[in-house]
Amino acid sequence: MKKIIFILLLISLAIAVDTCPISGSNNPTGCDSIQTPWAKEACKLFTNWETATVLALIISAIIVSLTYMVSIGFDMPDLKAWAGTELSQIIATAIIIASLVVVLVFINELVVTIVNESQISGLTCNIQENCLNKTASFYFDSYINKAEKQMRAALEEVKEKMAASSRRINSYCSQVLLPVPCLQFSTSFSADPDLGKNILDAERAASVFEYYQNLLSSMEAQKFFVQNVSYTLGPILLALGIFGRSFFFTRRLGGLLIAIAIAIMVVLPLMYLFDWIAMQVTLYGSLPFSGSAQPDCPEECKQQVPVAYAYGFTHVIQFNNTQELADLIFKGLDGSNTCTPKQNMELATEIAINLTSGQMETYTIPKANMTIYSCEAEAQKNKVIGSDNDNYTCDAPCRILPYPYGNDECAKYITQYACSKLTDNCKIKRLVKNIDQKQYNSCPAECKIIPPLKNDCKGSNAKAGFPPSVTPSNELPSPLVDMCLDSRFDCRVWYRDGTWAPQKKMDELEAKAKEAKEEEKEAYAATIEKCGFAKNCQQSNIPENSCVYIYPTPNNPNCGSCLTLEKAYLYNPPIRTEEECKQLCTPQPKKTMTTGDTVPLLVEGNVGPSILTNVSKLLVPVYLLPLFNILVTVMFIRSFSKFLGGDIEIPGLAKVI
């Protein structure tokens, strides 16, 4: 009976392995590169592990059968008992192989289903290919492409900043005709007003470039192992392991080789798929699995930068877009003339477009007697002529309060100056409309941040030692600057007890400047000046009168209840930032995996120059998660090898796990 069962198992196994797509034959780097004929054929045999598996079982069964015959013929009970035990091991090996085939096929079909249903651009799989390997490679490619783009940007910044800092103006004079009193006179000075800052920026960008090199080296190494080594070496180890487990004298080694093969062929690539899905859950919660195509977007986040405004009875009315404007104008025109509704709608749309584009400054609605003011016309009216003779206005992305310092264009001194002149009726404040009183009341007022909602932060003027490259020549020519607008953004912070937040760091910086080398003192002096200017920004506990952030006093024991609140409720009044609205209102489809490029949304709320935050966002998927993947892979080898009867006594491995 045992023999019949064993024969049936071999037949079913031979049929099953033909359907298994996880094979080294699909590996593009397989055995074709080997030149020696016998080595090439041997490589193909062991790479196609299914064939080697059946061959090993047949050879082992023949040996055991012959042994069994000898034990009966010569009446050797010990040998007969050994043959019976080995037959049981052969059956166990056949069951293990059949189980491996089923599991590998199931995992491949599962990955194919997930990938195809997610509809990721550039990634599709079919049941006949190794989708797990393909998906892991795509995962690496997305991060590698992102890192390469950012690395090129860092290199461009090095080039740009070094070129700016190396520009110099030279003057030279020598004696040509006696008695001209000019004896070998020479002078040279920098043409870059931001020399110190540009040198520091160039050095910072060069350091970031080196970080990207290390990141790319790590990602390329991981990609090479998963894409090439795993599916070239893995099938060979699997074939050798099954072959070894089929014979009593190599059974422990065979179990170990099978565990290693499954680990590097399946577990390790599967862990990168786990990393991918884990990133989606970290960024979007249960949204990719919930079927909701649009998350709950707060009403204040749906507001757009106003295109026009009008004065109502009690408050200012802001119009978010041209359509809102056209609808209101149409209501005022309807019935006030002899035109048809269609003609009035066309006229209202034309007026709304002209107001939005700034071609019309104002328009008065006939029936309502309401005057509408164009924000674009206001911005053009308050334009600033720069020292480079260009015109600067406060563009729509900069018409936000608190002021969007994270936008590089808005952060320019000349743009800040133009935006300070534009009325706050044309700016948006994303104050929370439906306040959650429970959250609002759970955090004491002394523990909340007062945001800077003052529109015009122009104040005290001073002669700058390091003026901006472009200044408003028609109003405040260089080297005169407005100290608040020219100050560093990270220095515009005070505490509620009246302490200037950067004071301690500035004291340390001044001490270092005294001991610095002569060529470094200029860079220190520029930083100290720009940060010190922030002391001249207006501060107030009333947000509409403040140009600085006012933070709670450090180590306040009453602020523990504020740690679990939404970010909006950490401010007084509660307000949404642009980053928070972006996170809350980004539509996400019902997909298990949305994209391999999860980098832009990582480390939400990270503060600092974009060149630093961009590289920091890659540290988790490139360094931390791969360590976790390797740990899980080693744990699998250790446990699965024992299950198969293998041996994995590696010194120190228990401590690592």
Q: What pLDDT score does 124 carry?
A: 79
**CA-CA distance, 472 to 23, in Å (whole number)?**
69
**CA-CA distance, 272 to 226, in Å (whole number)?**
10
Region for 645 from its dihedrals, namely left if φ exceeds 0, alpha if ψ lies in -120 to 50, beta otherwise: left
Q: What pLDDT score does 550 carry?
A: 92
- Which pair of structure tokens corresponds to residue 561? 């209840």
Looking at 394-534, which runs of residues are DSSP E strands?
Answer: 400-401, 428-429, 461-463, 480-482, 493-495
Question: Mean per-residue pLDDT for 368-380?
Answer: 89
Q: Is the separation of the CB atoms in 387 and 470 below 8 Å?
A: yes
Given a cut of 60, whether residue 3 has pLDDT beyond it is no
Q: What does the pLDDT look like over 588-626, one tens digit per residue? A: 544 444 444 444 444 444 555 677 777 777 888 888 888
- Which pair of structure tokens corresponds to residue 617? 């966002």
Q: What does the pLDDT look like over 516-526, one tens digit per residue? A: 888 778 888 88
Least confident among 190-199, 298-307, 347-356: 190-199
Name the 3-class secondary structure at 459. Answer: coil
- Which pair of structure tokens corresponds to residue 428? 């948006």
Q: How confident is the model at residue 147 (pLDDT cuts 50, 70, 90)?
A: confident
* Closest CA relative to residue 282, chosen from 590, 610, 626, 601: 601
Q: What does the pLDDT look like over 67-108, one tens digit per residue? A: 777 777 777 877 777 777 777 777 777 787 777 778 878 888
Given a cut of 70, whether residue 187 has pLDDT beyond it is no
Question: Mean per-residue pLDDT for 46-71?
Answer: 69
Given a cut of 80, whether residue 36 has pLDDT beyond it is no
**CA-CA distance, 497 to 556, in Å (whole number)?**
11
At which residue do the structure tokens 């406060």 appear? 394
Q: How confident is the model at residue 587 (pLDDT cuts 50, 70, 90)?
A: low
Q: What is the pTM of this model?
A: 0.51
Q: How confident is the model at residue 110 (pLDDT cuts 50, 70, 90)?
A: confident
Average pLDDT of the chain, as a whole number: 77
Given a cut of 80, whether residue 430 has pLDDT beyond it is yes
Q: Is the dihedral of CA 287, 292, 294, 298 positive or negative?
A: negative
Higher pLDDT, 189 or 303: 303
Name the percent of the chain lying above pLDDT 70: 77
**CA-CA distance, 332 to 326, in Å (whole number)?**
10
Share in percent of the chain as helix, strand, coil (round to 5): 60, 10, 35
Q: What does the pLDDT look like over 437-488, one tens digit per residue? A: 888 888 898 999 999 999 988 888 888 888 888 888 878 787 888 899 889 8
Given a cut of 60, whether residue 39 has pLDDT beyond it is no
Q: How confident is the model at residue 51 (pLDDT cuts 50, 70, 90)?
A: low
Least confident among 21-25, 168-172, 187-191, 415-419: 21-25
Q: What pLDDT score does 133 carry?
A: 80
Q: What pLDDT score does 419 carry?
A: 92
Radius of gyration of the chain (CA): 36
Q: What pLDDT score does 453 carry?
A: 92
Given a cut of 50, whether residue 215 has pLDDT beyond it is yes
β-pairing, 428-429 vs 400-401, is: parallel
At which residue do the structure tokens 């529109």 appear? 455
Question: Mean per-residue pLDDT for 421-432?
Answer: 91
State the DSSP H helix or E strand holding residue 169, giving kind and residue range, or none if neither.
strand 168-173
